[in-house]
Structures are given as structure tokens and as C-alpha cells.
Amino acid sequence: MKAVEIQNFGIENLSIVEKDIPTPKRGEVLVKIHAVSLNFRDYLTIEGKYNPNYKLPLVPCSDSSGEIIALGEDVIKWKTGDKVMGVFAPDWVSGTTNTQSIRSTLGGPNPGTLQQYRVFSENGVIPLPSNLTYIEGSTLPCAALTAWSALTEFGKTQPGDIILTQGSGGVSIFAIQLASLFGAKVIAISGSEEKEEKLKQLGVSTIINYKKNPKWGKEIKSLTGGVDHVIDVGGSETLEESIKTLKPFGQISLIGILGGSMANINLLPILMQNIKIQGILVGSKSAFESMSRAIEINNLRPIINHVFSFSEHREAIRSLKSGSQFGKICINMG
């Protein structure tokens, strides 16, 4: 079988290696991986900017869907032929947990999914929603679950809530789609006029261009009277403006650092208005299962930007870096 490995950091240094197809041990399943989706984290990992201390060689990428083709001893949950998705942090089962479980993530430190076959623990996969293709299902383990955790586990979204999303990357588009399941109203900022129409088609009511209006916080506050929840992916470039958009007792889910991770911000409005800033790291397996059921029942379809072939993995990762995409970038492993 073929696998992509980071042998030295840098997209140019990715190598395709030949390996034996692994044999599942007790409590494990062997999955033929059909599709992988990419996240900004994968680009950072490959470049050595996510965690330069990750042990190499490392198979990158956290997200996958595929088919179970062999079972280890004592596996009772699954049968061959079952369609599944890999869990982002398999040891984080539900609720709050310890550091070790949160760090049981695929694509660093644990081997990732950019390989044709992979062994998972029987608890490290969940069923693919029946309404989704392999490609669509591969987009759920990281970006979709992150948006779901922010909106549900940590955000407790209610009908009528106003949610602010940022840009048109994977997490933000899922946040827009999932927010509609709860009857929330979504407004967005985007730096691209071209993508505005597409965001409107997904149900976003108002869009502010953050490049034309870098001080968008006050404008959003005056348009809405204050938002309930900001899905913040810009980090240091957006946090201060995000705070300005909120109602008292509003929440910022701090998810991304697209604009940087070091912020010098005014802390006063946070305490004067009882604002909550909640860090989000993807989510638990139990949240993944809940989201997956919601996606199936509501026939929610992930937005796919482009599907690359396995041999085009470098182009796929480069295109992720460009930020020009609308929706998820995937790799067809077939």
C-alpha cells in the first residue's frame, strides 16, 4: 500500500512510501481509506509550524472515511463492508477529559490518514451518515465537529440567536450550515466579494467585507444590536473586533489563528460586559456521533471545493494554503 509521509518538514519534502497493509490486532479494525479531507492544521503540521516537535516520519492528515475490510479478534461492533469515518481524537470519548486524551489526535502526534489503509481501534471510527458519499463524509471529523462543538456543547445555541462567522473556510461554512439546524440567524465577515453571493446562498443574512472595513465590529453591533456568539477563526487579527460585536453575556468561540496567535487587546470590555471567551479544540467522539446523526436526519450536505487525486497531494495542500477555496479540499484515495 502507499502512504504519504512527512520525513522532513515542508510540502516539497512529502514522500510517497510503500508499506505492508497492516493486520488488525484484538479490538481493532482495518479500514480501506476512500477519501481524506484537508484542514489548515495539516498544512501547518507539514510545514513544521503546528508542532515542530512531532516525531518524524509522520503520516499527515486527521480526516478520513472508508470501508472496514478486516476485523481483529473480539470486535463485535462492526462487520466488514461497514462505511465509517475516523475520529479526530479517539481517546476523547465524551465531556471533559484529560490532556492525554485531547492529544490522541491523528495526523500528529499519532499517524494520520493520508494512506490507503489504516488500522483504527474499534472505538476510533463511527458510521458514515447514510446520506453522504465517502468524499462528503471525510470532511466531518475536524472542521464540522469544531463548528458543532462551538454551537452546541460550548455555545448552547438557541432559536433566534445571532451568530457571527468569519471568512469562508471549512469551519465557518459548517458553522453557517449547522446554525440553521437550530434556527439561529447568521451574519458573516468575508474578505472576498466573489464569495459573498455563495455565503448568501447558504443562508447568511448580512456580510461585511473585513478588508474594506477593517473596523467591522461597531458596524455589526449597530446593525444587529449585538450578536450572541462569534465563531472566531482570525485570532489576533479579529479578536478585538469580535469583542465589539457582542451583546452583554455573549460568547466568542476561539477556534483559529489565521491572522496570528499573539494578541494585544483591551481586556476591559470582556469583564464590563460579562463576555465569555471559550477555546475550542475540535470535539469528543460522542459529539461527533450526535453531529453525524443531525447531518443524516437533516440531509445536510458538506460543501466541497475540489477533489484531488492521491498523486496530487502536494497541489491539494498548496491550494489549502492559498485561502481562495470555498468549502473543503479533499483527496480521493481510490
Ligand X SMILES: NC(=O)c1ccc[n+]([C@@H]2O[C@H](COP(=O)([O-])OP(=O)(O)OC[C@H]3O[C@@H](n4cnc5c(N)ncnc54)[C@H](OP(=O)(O)O)[C@@H]3O)[C@@H](O)[C@H]2O)c1
Residues that bind ligand X (CB under 6 A): 39-41, 142-143, 146, 166-172, 190-192, 195, 210, 233-234, 237-238, 255-259, 280-282, 320, 323
Please report how close the Cβ of residue 191 comes to ligand X at its closest, in angstroms: 3
Nearer to ligand X, 30 or 317 (CB): 317
Nearer to ligand X, 190 or 224 (CB): 190
Nearer to ligand X, 33 or 89 (CB): 89
Q: How distant, in Å, are the alpha carbons of 216, 260, 268 from that of 275?
A: 18, 22, 10
Please report how close the Cβ of residue 95 comes to ligand X at its closest, in angstroms: 17
Please report how close the Cβ of residue 307 comes to ligand X at its closest, in angstroms: 15
**DSSP-derived secondary structure for 66-92:** EEEEEE-TT--S--TT-EEEE-SSTT-
Nearest to 308 by CA among 295, 319, 293: 319
Nearer to ligand X, 32 or 306 (CB): 306
Q: How distant, in Å, are the alpha carbons of 155, 162, 221, 238 from that of 168?
A: 20, 18, 21, 14
Q: How distant, in Å, are the alpha carbons of 49, 125, 185 from that of 102?
A: 19, 16, 31
Please report how close the Cβ of residue 284 comes to ligand X at its closest, in angstroms: 12
Whether omega for the bond prior to residue 22 falls within 30 degrees of 0, making it cis, is no
Please report how close the Cβ of residue 305 comes to ligand X at its closest, in angstroms: 9
Nearer to ligand X, 74 or 193 (CB): 193
Nearer to ligand X, 91 or 122 (CB): 91
Q: What is the DSSP letter of 10?
A: S
Please report how close the Cβ of residue 256 comes to ligand X at its closest, in angstroms: 2
Using Cβ positions, the residue closest to ligand X within the complex turns out to be: 169
Give the number of other Cβ atoms within 10 Å of residue 76's Cβ. Answer: 8
Residue 155 in contact with residue 134, Cβ under 8 Å?
no
